[in-house]
Structure 1
Amino acid sequence: MSQRLKTLVVDDEPLARKGLSVRLEAFEELQLMPECPNSRTAVDVIVEEKPDLVFLDIQMPGLNGFEVLKAVKEQGGELPTVVFVTAYDEYAIKAFEVRALDYLLKPVDDDRLKECVERVIAENSSFDTEQHEKLVGLVAEVTGQNAEDLLKTLSEGGDIATNQYPDHIAIKDSGEITRVAIKDIKWIDAAGDYMCIHANDDTYILRRTMKELEKELSPQLFQRVHRSAIVNVNQVEKLCNQQNGEYHLQLKNGQQLKVSRSYKDKIKQLILGQ
């Protein structure tokens, strides 16, 4: 192999993450990247840094491993070669073997890890068409289910419902109807009896209630941060703790949104993977 494979380890458990990384250092064909401690960071790193190989934990706060890959696709990123890591030995073997996708069971066995890495290296970290289609198909089945439930359903050959949330939202204004892509919405705030939809660099006025609108937005992508505000979690840059004890979110475009105390813990878990 002429080039080492850029390799990323994603796991919210520090010991598991470090333990796997240390053992992967023994393979000179792999070039280890800084570890990812949560799912949100993983999405950004995969999209921006384009690793060749990712060891991806399935059960993580915020987004599970399947949803990490779905978010990568939604942001236009390329899917790398993926080795799923899971503790669900009852379901994982059948679920992944039927798709010819590689997996590791926790605690990871040294011999199994060696076999897995050698297989990836032998294939030169490249998908064949069939393998790629199987991974894309698996990601497409994700609907925000609990990881264990999803694996059980897959292993039993069950069907997973397709995404129940729309890709666009129709906004009527002055006799015109504008279709706004859901993924382009950065945040939403209430203005009296109206909703202000902030998408890309535009703001649209929607004559609906926050409660009605929230039902049409995937909770894996949008989170309520205040009684009058909803945010696209992919737009969040950081959660800030102010001196007065209040919290606010800073978005990638510099916009700041107040986080009410009742939503603070949920936001820390679901958005920041803490």
Structure 2
Amino acid sequence: MKEPITTIIVDDESLARRGLKIRLQEFDDITIVGECSNGRDALDMIIEKQPKLMFLDIQMPGLDGFDVVKGMQGDDMPMVVFVTAFDQYAVDAFNVHAVDYILKPVEEERLQQAVEKARAKQQEKGALSDKEKLLDLIGDITGKKPGNVDDLLNEHSEPKQQYSDKISIKDGSNVTIVKTQDINWIDAAGDYMCVHVGDNIHIMRITMKQLEAQLDPDVFQRVHRSTIVNLNQVKQVCSHMNGEYYLMLECGARLKMSRTFKDKVKHFL
């Protein structure tokens, strides 16, 4: 029996959501756990339901589909299949690592292909989970808890860098200088770091460990395996019944603080 793929549907058209839901119910491993009509509700539902897959419309009032992807926290990101009536966004969709891009009206064969791609990607995530279990075992044996293989191999190998009030972000032949005080938060996306500065997102090819070493820990703290937050940008800390916390930032972002980093709450009190 296939492992269930918990799924949400995000589309501002109720008929589109209903039609897609009916067709997805034909797949025995797709479990619909929610649906919503706008991007803001989608971000809240991702935190609440933690779905593995999301069918996401692009053109919606308020936050569009790309805004939803930008607003998601790295480790909470479900797989994304864009469903839209417009084909001009295809390149942008795959640039944000979408699983698939389906045009409306959705053809049966294309939906089948999208689900198969999601299944394959889900198996890859399963392999990553096995790797994390292995690292936990290594931690139990050695008495240390490395976050990843690089942490284990490079421990003590990188000198402490002097903290600067600016970081340089290279984009092709251009270099953007960003003041660290202007950074809202940072999250990991594969081999890249997404630096959120106001409404802009700057992409850096650097590891989380390397970037964290450049930032003043009195200002920047890791609150999740894949998230660093500017403490000066936090305006509210909300507790959750499962022992986790959510941080509300001045920019409107809502970030999860995992139980592993719950001791960081003292920085906000």
Between 1 and 2, higher relative CO (CA 8 Å, sep ≥ 6) is seen in 1
Q: TM-score category by the smaller chain? A: 0.3 to 0.5
TM-score (norm 1): 0.47
Q: TM-score, normalised by structure 2?
A: 0.48
